[in-house]
A = this chain, B = another copy of it.
């Protein structure tokens, strides 16, 4: 392994990954890295952590074979190491996946920072904490950032990259290159906010769903059905904005805003809506028009329909619930 500088954005010399925390997310990271032919060393103080980790990787392996393994990929390239220091000191890239608690992560990342070579990137899998806070006690905070995946980490492509006040541009470039090299689609946030993007949306869903459950309006199964048989099928490839744009037919988002703009004032959720200013309206309309990238509405409708039909067939084939 050659010496790397933090401004070296290539991911091709990264061979050994340290994973700190081997719960559901850490196990997902191990599976994804192993499938990409990397060596993984994992550490976790929990009882039976190694056993659970290896069982999780084994359960994920058929999916990884289906996706396609990199040359040399094998589950045996996973090493478990009881001591954090030993795990991180030899790593070329470090994934932190400890419990979601600011105090725990802040202390743990400082400990990783004290034991890893100073140019090695430390990417935290935090689901929504501010990177400026969790990097605060580090000697080399410039290499600390958020690299937030969604579970199952070894199948879903999304990876949110969020830098803190002290994160360096070189570390962000290195992280983007690394995550891309293991088949992910890094999405770099412009601003550091709690919950980032995906969990802002997911948390809004979670809170509204909890209100419906707490108020006795519906069961978990009914609320899940309302999402999975309708809006959920659309969000998986169109996202919320393009879904509404397509819902407006030829009139697109402009028509939707005429039709449903006023409902922002109605109590259709417990979430307060922002003011639909002319500026916000324009940002919406321009945004989705750019996304449609010149494809005609009729073409997108036919392609959307094909996706929805085949996605439902996939679900009918594989999903038992």
Task: Check: A6 CB closer than 8 A to any chain B CB.
Answer: no
Among A56, A247, A270, A305, find the residue whose CB has the most chain B CB atoms closer than 10 A.
A305
Grouping DSSP codes into helix (H, G, I), strand (E, B) and loop, the A interface class, with mixed when no group exceeds half, is: helix
Question: Which of A9-17, A72-80, A168-176, A210-218 participates in binding chain B?
Answer: A210-218
Are the C-beta atoms of B269 and A242 separated by less than 8 Å? Answer: no
Are the C-beta atoms of A292 and B321 separated by less than 8 Å? Answer: yes
Q: Which B residues are in CB contact (< 8 Å) with A225?
A: 158, 185, 187, 239
- What's the minimum C-beta distance from A25 to chain B, rounded to whole angstroms? 9
Are the C-beta atoms of A207 and B206 separated by less than 8 Å? Answer: no
Q: Which B residues are in CB contact (< 8 Å) with A47?
A: none
Question: Which of A82-90, A109-117, A135-143, A294-302 participates in binding chain B?
Answer: A294-302
Task: Check: A71 CB closer than 8 A to any chain B CB.
Answer: no
Task: Check: A208 CB closer than 8 A to any chain B CB.
Answer: yes
Specify how many copies of this chain sit in the oligomer.
Answer: 2
- What's the minimum C-beta distance from A67 to chain B, rounded to whole angstroms? 6
Count of chain A residues near B, Cβ 8 A: 134
Tell me whether A259 and B158 are in contact in the complex, defined as CB-CB below 8 angstroms, given that A202-B231, A239-B223, A284-B213 are known contacts. Answer: no
Are the C-beta atoms of A156 and B303 separated by less than 8 Å? Answer: no
Among A187, A232, A321, find the residue whose CB has the most chain B CB atoms closer than 10 A.
A232
Are the C-beta atoms of B194 and A268 separated by less than 8 Å? Answer: yes
Among A212, A246, A299, A321, find the residue whose CB has the most chain B CB atoms closer than 10 A.
A321
Tell me whether A310 and B302 are in contact in the complex, defined as CB-CB below 8 angstroms, given that A190-B218, A201-B227, A229-B157 are known contacts. Answer: no
- What's the minimum C-beta distance from A64 to chain B, rounded to whole angstroms? 9
Task: Check: A272 CB closer than 8 A to any chain B CB.
Answer: yes
Closest to A310 in B: B314
